[in-house]
Amino acid sequence: MDNTRWLDEQEMAAWTGFLAASNLLGRRVEQQLKDDADLSHPQYEILTRLSAAPCGELRMTELADALLTSKSGLTYQVTQLEKSGMVRRRSFPGDVRGVVACLTDEGWAKVRETAPGHVALVRELLIDVLTREQLTAIAEGLGEVSRRLRASTVR
Amino acid sequence: MDNTRWLDEQEMAAWTGFLAASNLLGRRVEQQLKDDADLSHPQYEILTRLSAAPCGELRMTELADALLTSKSGLTYQVTQLEKSGMVRRRSFPGDVRGVVACLTDEGWAKVRETAPGHVALVRELLIDVLTREQLTAIAEGLGEVSRRLRASTVR
DNA sequence: GACCAGTGGTTCGAATTTGAACCACGCCAC
DNA sequence: GTGGCGTGGTTCAAATTCGAACCACTGGTC
């Protein structure tokens, strides 16, 4: 017996569209960040997360699950950013094990000068291509999808 | 002056939802394929593309741009699949340079036994979470997005 | 106060990915 | 035919990624 519920045309289109957009967009964004700011996308994410946090600093763990990357991956990227002077590590007062990453002045400067170009690209390639209805559908639909994924993921 | 058109709340939600869904879904799918079939996602993609093609074979180049990966990446994955006996390389009659990848019997078997579980997961994590309206919005919206990305990408 | 399961981060090795350099060949124009 | 340019694939080194093992420490429990 084959009782698999295969995908109909519409569903298939959604899945392949999602996959393709995800690959191609990721690639383009990565490319632009590398060219304009000499940053990888994960690195850019780290910088913006930090810049949005009070005092420009966050615990490693908080960063790690905001970034959706593995712990070791984060360690690596933060080390890179530290080498290039964008970020500094400090130890967390109150728990010797804890480490907080902290934006340096150059880090702040980098974010300020990089963000506009990044936003412009995202707008051009994604946001402005969609109708308002598509935009809200995506915001709500994929929002729900990722909420469930987060919830069901073993921490 | 800062004349950047920043993202409003809705637009931001769409972008972050998209990024998160993309990361988390990719990770989960990857995981499942590895566990159930001992395949990476790119490898699975190769197998299904081949199985959808006449005679189960395609030129390397055709595969490469269907897969949205670099040429060298494809070479690597095909080599892996060849080692595990899912795929065979033949030379392309009519152009000595050309190489066609070709599903073996085990390759066919692998696709048949892996596809149902894969589809079920995609359904559970993505398709069945969305309303029908969201589904069509995503199919059309992201379809258009990726079409443009393909078109504007240097080949 | 000593034990012990659990946390926060780093280190390590293995697998994958990418772009650039490369090689061999086909396709033309002359 | 014979240069010379573009193509189809592979090879190479470098960067990144992941999970598993690890270390140092914390917070209860007895």
pLDDT one-digit tens code per residue, B71-121 = 999 999 999 999 999 999 999 888 889 999 999 999 999 999 999 999 999
Where residue B151 falls among pLDDT bands split at 50, 70, 90?
A: confident
Q: Is the CB of B28 under 7 A from strand D?
A: no
Residue B12 in this model has a pLDDT that exceeds 50: yes
Res. A151 pLDDT band, cuts 50 70 90 = confident
Inter-chain touch A138–B17, beta carbons under 8 Å: yes
Query: Is A50 domain-assigned?
Result: yes
B148: chain A residues, CB-CB within 8 Å: 125, 129
For residue A15, the one-letter residue type is W
DSSP string covering chain A, please? --------HHHHHHHHHHHHHHHHHHHHHHHHHHHHHS--HHHHHHHHHHHHSGGGEEEHHHHHHHHTS-HHHHHHHHHHHHHTTSEEEEEPTT-TT-EEEEE-HHHHHHHHHHHHHHHHHHHHHTGGGS-HHHHHHHHHHHHHHHHHHHHHS--
Tell me, yes or no, whether A3 lies in a domain.
Answer: no
* pLDDT digits 0-9 by tens, A110-139: 999 999 999 999 999 999 999 999 999 999
Contact B18, A142 (CB under 8 A): yes
Q: Answer whether residue A6 is part of any domain.
A: no
Domain assignment of residue A4, yes or no: no
Q: What is the pLDDT of residues B33-80, one digit of tens each?
A: 999 999 999 999 999 999 999 999 999 999 998 998 999 999 999 999
Residue B153 has pLDDT above 90, yes or no: no
What's the domain count of chain B?
1
Domain membership of residue B2 (yes or no) is no
| pLDDT above 60 for A155 | no
**B155, pLDDT greater than 50:** no
For strand D, the positions having any atom within 7 A of a protein Cβ are 7-13, 16-20, 24-27
Terminal CA-to-CA distance of chain A, rounded, Å? 37
Å between B105 CA and nearest CA of chain A: 20
Tell me whether residue A123 is in a domain. yes
Taking CB atoms and an 8 Å cutoff, what residues of chain B touch A1? none
In a domain, B5, yes or no: no
Report whether pLDDT(B152) > 90: no
For residue B30, the domain's CATH number is 1.10.10.10
Band (pLDDT 50/70/90 cuts) for residue A83 is: very high
CA distance A95 to chain B (A): 30
Separation CA A42–CA A50 (nearest Å): 12
- Determine the Cα–Cα distance for residues A21 and A126; give it in Å rounded to an integer: 9
Domain-embedded: residue A2: no
Range of the domain at B31: 10-152
